[in-house]
Homo-oligomer: A and B are copies of this chain.
Amino acid sequence: MSDKAKQLTEELYKLTREITVLNSCQAILDWDERTYMPPNGSENRANQAALLAGMVHDKFTSPHIGEIINDLVYAGIDPEADSFDSANLREIKRAYDKAVKVPKSLVEELSRTITLGQRAWQEAREKSDFPAFQPWMEKIVKLKRQQAEAVGYKGVPYNAMLDDFEPGASTEHIAKVFAGLRDELVKLLTKIRESGIEPDRSIILRDYPVERQRQFGTDAAKSIGFNFESGRLDETVHPFCTGFGPGDIRITTRYDKNHFPQAFFGILHEAGHGIYEQGLPAENYGTPCGESASLGIHESQSRMWENMVGRSKSFWQHFFPKAQKAFPEALSGVSIDQFHFAVNDVRSSYIRVEADEATYNLHILLRFEMESAFFNGDIEVADVPALWSEKFEKYFGIKPDNDKVGCLQDVHWSAGLIGYFPTYTLGNLFAAQFFAKAKEDLGDLDSQFAAGDFKPLFGWLRENIHSYGQRYRADDLVEKITGKPLTHQPLMEYLNGKYGELYKL
């Protein structure tokens, strides 16, 4: 790299680092709002958040950043070359080009509409009244379409939405992978339903005192590698993971005294996110290569630790005796097989966030099909409830009674988060494909888990995924690591194998 290019790069990073630090201040405000802020603090909190958001926007869209980007390209830095600096330029350019293309008036109108739209959605959901929400949803879709037109896209408009959460993803590719998954999943679920077998769910619904759940979950999160010197675990209504830079990554959970899996697998899930954030290269902090690759890759980390590790038999070979000690009232006389089956119970249900590991993906496929269709104009927003019911019955074999447990259950559309849903299932697909490769590389993961040794898998993830930040786009990362493009097969092999055994298929 020429001296000139070096100097420009340093200048660019100085600016992005400052923006990152300012963003991280806002993340602290947000964490505080969701954990400890007293009720009357919300009005001023909104002012604080708006001020910082405006400052971040002004700093990031300053023409000076655009000039440096152009100068760097002119100085011969190829954004598509394989290096940290090139990847940083590629991602900064991508974000900058998008940010300056959207008129401020549209950003503001979207922000206002979403605030009001979410309020309307809450009321509509309460009353299970889709028509009350419909005009808001139509307006949000219209504005997001304007945003898509402003930033531009290849293929269908929905691709512009995907790009915000899963850079480089396309509807066409996702639809192909999801279609293969859907057919096999529906087959598996039919077989499970017809097996007539089910676990004793009552085991996990007994009395699990919250204080002991907290300790047990904290110990498990530590065991798999979440570092509490660089993080915390708190309680919130809606669990999440957030990070304020290297050394301070926080997760939250929600405890239910009579539902063991909720907090426990929630903690493993958020710890998986947290472990990823804690493993991002600190030396790249403040540049894209110090940030997570995509929402799908992020989700692959949480799902792998929650499900592929946390719901495995070998995991419980290590943890079940500890669980029996911690919760003798609930677990004395219960066998590990009974417990393991109970935390892997599969059944059709209406609510996505309560779904098991297998049915979960069908919830997502349905949403992906719906939102790509109404966003691309293939169906009208008004058609959503009827089409939802129709598809739901086809995939799950049951039909929702009302919109509250149907198309009004999720916050995403009212929050303008169109294009977000697919990243959940992409996460599961990435996770399965990574996990299969990790097994190839690391040998018998099951005996390692049974011995409470999670370091080999942890180290493998650090080396192959965490340490790169955004150096590779998600799809390229999958190919680089596994040698193959993303397919549905590893996930289906994993699910068929696991449930084949449990349900004797």
Contacts and interface: CB of A to CB of B under 8 A. Distances in A.
Interface of A: 18, 21-22, 24-25, 28-29, 32, 36-45, 47-48, 51-52, 55, 227-232, 234, 244-248, 250, 285
Contact of A248 (B22, B45, B229, B285): B45
A47 B28 contact: no
Most B CB within 10 A of own CB, among A25, A234, A245: A25
Most B CB within 10 A of own CB, among A18, A28, A36, A42: A28
Contacts of A25: 25, 29, 48, 51-52
Given A38-B228, A38-B231, A228-B38, A44 B24 contact: yes
20 contacts: A21-B47, A21-B48, A24-B44, A24-B48, A25-B29, A28-B29, A32-B32, A37-B248, A38-B229, A38-B230, A38-B231, A38-B247, A40-B227, A40-B229, A41-B244, A41-B247, A42-B247, A44-B245, A44-B247, A44-B285
Query: How many copies of this protein are present in the complex?
Result: 2
Contacts of A38: 228-232, 247-248, 250
A318 to B, nearest CB: 26
* Closest 7 pairs between A and B when the two form their complex, measured CB to CB: A41-B248, A40-B247, A44-B245, A40-B230, A41-B247, A21-B51, A39-B229
Contacts of A18: 51
Contacts of A55: 55
A259 to B, nearest CB: 26
B232 A36 contact: yes
A44 B230 CA distance: 11
Contacts of A245: 41, 44, 47-48
Nearest to A36: B232
A37 B229 CA distance: 9
Most B CB within 10 A of own CB, among A41, A48, A232: A41
Contacts of A32: 28, 32
A281 to B, nearest CB: 14
